Amino acid sequence: MNMADVARRTGVSIATVSRALRGEKGVSEATRLRIQRIADELAYVISPEASKLSGGATGRVAVVVPWIDAWFYSRILAGIEHELRAADLDVMLYCLEESSQRESFFERLPLRRKVDAVIAVAFPLTGPERARLEEMDVTVVVIGAHAGDFPSVRIDDELAARQAVGHLIRIGHTRIGMIRTVDPEGRSWEGDIARVAGFHGALADAGLDDDCIATVPWGIEGGERGMELLLSRADVPTAVFCHSDEVAVGALRTLRRAGIPVPAGMSVIGIDDHPTAELADLTTVRQPVAEQGVEAGRVVVDLLSGREPEERAVVLPTHLVVRGSTARPAEH
């Protein structure tokens, strides 16, 4: 079924059908309604490529993520899709798990001439990768990091870490450890660096030692290993700050197996407010995850509509959520 079929059934020209279905001027309301009724009967939908070709637009937005099976990224995607769908924009998803995939992707740039915008979700963009995106001459929005002059949506990761460590200090802990995460491929993640800075900054401000650190790969298994390392120290901490709730859940598992009660024997805090945090009664610092996707979608819609967004660098607030995994240390 094509536009010519609709034109024959309605007795008007193809140009009139095109103007009517695109909502352009020059078609009476009665004719427009008749054309739309016939198009509906024939199940005809105007081609995005055909209708937008003259303006050079595709009606599509690429979303590039390192993973799609992790809670954080699925929530971000839900927020993006909700906002773009409301603006009648389609999403093209690209998942780049390994550095080799990323290198190939940015070298070939399969997005060229296929999308109007790109949203890069929470992965570190190298200088050459940023340059390649700039060469595309499309709208680019970054979630979870800074990336040159591109508009961005993120939280203040250093502040989130300070909120977590500050809570432990306020309730009386003076020996505070950290389980930090690193990328298996050696990539430098801005959020991880900022959370390390927040940990050191909060302890320095309080005049406390900040050398009780375990470095592990991200994930529950990493959290298990990290807590094992901290428990092996001569100066075992009374509280531990974890870079994410998944890491904290792994740390709690090790403490349970070691027979150390939480929070009486050890306090644990994370960041994110992952769905498992409430189930584990985990104190955490909540970040608005889906909202970051929504905000990024809004920025894209504004820019594609020719409007300047209210902010080009959106920083969403985080806040402490106190549950049962933190308490004053036993000696208090």
pLDDT reported for residue 136:
74
Domain spans in the chain, listed from the N-terminal domain onward: 3-53, 60-155+289-316, 157-287
**What pLDDT, in 10s, does the model give residues 270-321?**
999 999 999 999 999 999 999 999 999 999 999 988 888 888 899 999 999 9
Taking the C-alpha atoms of residue 289 and residue 153, their distance in angstroms, rounded to an integer, is 11
Half-sphere exposure of 146 (CA within 13 A, CB side): 7
Give the CATH class of 3-53. Answer: mainly alpha
pLDDT reading at 116 higher than 70: yes
Could you please report the per-residue DSSP string of 99-167? HHHHHHHHHH-TTTTT-SEEEEESSPPPHHHHHHHHHHTSEEEEESS--TTS-EEEE-HHHHHHHHHHH
CATH of domain 60-155+289-316: 3.40.50.2300
Q: Do domains 60-155+289-316 and 157-287 have the same CATH topology?
A: yes
Residue 182 pLDDT exceeds 90:
no
Q: Over the stretch 185-225, which tens digit does the pLDDT of each residue have?
A: 666 688 899 999 999 999 999 999 999 999 999 889 999 99
pTM over 0.95: no
- Asked whether 111 and 324 are in contact (CB, 8 A), the reply is no
Would you mind telling me the total number of residues written for the chain in this entry? 332
Angle between helices 14-21 and 29-41 (to 10 degrees): 90
Q: Which of 53-67, 70-84, 130-144 has the highest mean pLDDT?
A: 70-84
Q: What is the mean pLDDT of residues 43-72?
A: 72
The CATH-assigned architecture of domain 157-287 is: 3-Layer(aba) Sandwich (3.40)
Range 79-86 average pLDDT? 93
At residue 56 the predicted structure's pLDDT band, cuts being 50, 70 and 90, is low
Cβ contact 200:176 at 8 Å = no
Comparing 145 with 222, the larger pLDDT belongs to 222
